[in-house]
A and B are shown apart, each in its own frame.
Chain A
């Protein structure tokens, strides 16, 4: 599994390395994290950092770190008691590849990524596995160097023969630091 992640990150790095010039920024984002066909957690919040590296007019490679506080599950099971189970926390780091179409002032971008995901929940074994993300976003730049974006994302964390899936809706801002 880690070999797969290493190969994918290597591919992203090589992709970046073939470009003649790069534009490097830093950004932050926040939004909602919604478990999909997953009764272990309820909707929670997600925050994180991204480092967008524009390696070509249409291609952005974007290392990221994200942290989610998933919602607790409440259930009565048809009894007179209400039980609450910790929804857990999810952290991830990895890299996305964004394919940007449009002008710098307004563009849209499908993207895909790979990362190392960890889910921790009270009284449960920690899950630490590779995950994949896919999504679509729109971005615009109201002033030079500042970018804003809104994206929807589907995350799938591989847990052996099954996976745990999450949908994320985030809003983010980034600032272009310098060009090489």
Chain B
């Protein structure tokens, strides 16, 4: 009997140690506020909205920066209002650099990676608060992988938001990037 208990204990202990001691890990919800409000307009000079993101402004990120293993959940949230234009979609692209200045940009950079979208919105006057579950499902794998890489790196990147309809003027109120950090020693 004593041998059996030792065997069982040994198997469990070996399994734990073999996987690294991960007891102190945690999944931490954090968010980054996007400019409030910002608009996505289909003019030649302002075809997309450039949003530099520096996660070092987020307390939860700084608290766990040195022990980050990845992201276990991510979403882009906010209230989308179609100020003027037909029904269409909103998409977000990501580049791994911190591009300035913030605000309107003539186009999404050629090397940008689709991160999220398109999230649909109705014609002029439509207002939509994006659902958290739906938003989590709108991520493109390549863009999400790049986002995870940036979060585990310097935490600095730039989002470019744009519309899919021919003409668009969409206002985003209280927009934010919500992430669940996967942190462990």
Contacts and interface: CB of A to CB of B under 8 A. Distances in A.
B177 to A, nearest CB: 10
A94 to B, nearest CB: 12
B20 interface: yes
Given A4-B15, A79-B174, A81-B129, A97 B8 contact: yes
A77 B27 contact: no
Contacts of A4: 15, 18-19
Interface in B147-185: 174, 176, 178, 180, 182-184
A15 B133 contact: no
Interface in A144-178: 156, 158-165
A33 to B, nearest CB: 15
Interface majority SS (helix, strand, loop, mixed), chain B: mixed
Chain A contact-residue range equals: 35 or more
A119 to B, nearest CB: 10
Interface string A26-37: 000000000001
A56 B4 CA distance: 11
Contact of A114 (B4, B15, B33, B183): B15
A85 B73 contact: yes
Nearest to A122: B133
B8 A160 contact: no
A7 B11 contact: yes
B28 interface: yes
A11 B31 CA distance: 45
Interface string A1-45: 100100110011011001000000000000000000111100000
A137 B8 CA distance: 19
A39 B180 contact: yes
B1 interface: yes
A163 B184 contact: yes
Given A40-B73, A83-B77, A160-B69, A11 B137 contact: no
Interface of B: 1, 4-5, 7-9, 11-12, 15-16, 18-20, 22-23, 25-29, 31, 33, 69, 72-73, 75, 77-79, 129, 131-137, 174, 176, 178, 180, 182-184
